[in-house]
Amino acid sequence: MLDQPAPAPGQAVAAGSVAAPPGPPLQAAGLSHSFGPRRVLSDVGFTVNRGDFTVLLGLNGAGKTTLFALITRLYHARSGSISVFGHDIRRDPLAALARMGVVFQQPTLDLDLTVEQNLMYHASLHGMARRAAAPRVAAELERVGLWAQRREKVRQLSGGQRRRVELARALVHDPPLLLMDEPTVGLDIESRRFLLEHVRTLCREQGFAVLWATHLIDEAADDARVIVLHRGRVLAQGMVGEVAAGAGADTIRDAFDRLVRDDAAPAAA
């Protein structure tokens, strides 16, 4: 299969070899969705810019996974619009999908295939010929430290390693936009730290735009942008410091608690 040596660290190309046209990496406006009578998203709007590490913060059931399903066109929103680098997900889905890499909340690797086979399959789903895909697969596996395990079946890997494979896979086609839905759930502290640091570095050094959904507040560092989603509505968004200040709190944790509490109050009254 892949026998050429892995490239040296730092040799990987910058994000976005798929031509990134003008327009923000990700823009959602007036997004609403419901399952039957149950409304899961109401008038959600936000923008993720180049180089932004944007944390979508919300408790379980806030609507994060639904939002990801809409952005990745698993299904359409009842109303509102989503665009990726100016490509509307409904009118021009193929151009939009080509520019995003996704790590879903549930594992999506094929356990019976090897690490390398999983990544090559993904590359073919993006129309990449073997010759073009092989060095990209090697580069991404090297970057997450799993080149040596490329011929092992995914079933033999630990939870943390599987997550890293999923990240490598999401980046194989070199997308300038990375979507990660609760990627650290169920991981040990070390794997969590690795994943978070790795993606933040990609953002900082290579200009990736990242939307990182989580319910773990400490994943929103001070230099991150944050979108607070609660019961399907955006309660606040901006840089971590701005959101905290806007809620009259010192830390993002206090701000989140306050926003969620205030949001629940009128409903309880």
Partner 1 sequence: MTAAQYAICLNGIVQREGLRWLQQRGRFVSALVRPLVWLAIFAAGFHFVLGVSIIPPYETYIPYEVYIAPGLLAMIQLFNGMQSSLSMVYDREMGSMKTLMISPFPRWYLLISKLLAGVAVSVVQAYIFLAIAWFWNIEPPLLGYLTVLPALVLSGLMLGALGLVLSSFIRQLENFAGVMNFVIFPMFFTSSALYPLWRVKEANLTVWWISEINPFTHAVELIRYAMYEKFNALSALIVLAYLVLFTVLAVIGYDPGRGLIARRVAAE
Contact letters for partner 1, residues 153-192 (x by CB under 8 A): x---------------------------------------
Nearer to partner 1, 115 or 252 (CB): 115
* Stretch of residues binding partner 1 (CB under 8 A), selected from 114-122, 185-193, 194-202, 250-258: 114-122
Question: Torsion angle of alpha carbons 204, 207, 211, 212, nearest 10°?
Answer: -30
Residues contacting residue 63 through CB under 8 Å, at least 6 positions apart: 33, 40, 41, 44, 229, 231, 232
Instruction: Choose one: 4-12, 44-52, 123-131, 201-209; the region binding partner 1 (CB under 8 A).
Output: 123-131
Residues 131-160 that bind partner 1 (CB under 8 A): 153
CB 242, CB 268: distance < 8 Å? no
Dmax over CA atoms of the chain, in Å, equals: 66
Strands 177-181 and 100-103: parallel
Closest CA to 172 of 205, 210, 144, 212: 144
Binders of partner 1 among 46-75, rule CB under 8 A? Answer: 65-66, 69, 72-75
Distances (CA, A) of 75 to 24, 105, 221: 22, 17, 32
Q: Does 98 bind partner 1 (CB under 8 A)?
A: yes
How many residues touch partner 1 under the rule CB under 8 A: the total is 39
Nearest to 170 by CA among 148, 215, 202: 202
Nearest approach in angstroms of CB 71 to partner 1 is: 10
CB of 127: closest distance to partner 1 in angstroms? Answer: 3
Residues that bind partner 1 (CB under 8 A): 35, 40, 65-66, 69, 72-76, 93-98, 100, 102, 104, 106-113, 117, 120-129, 153
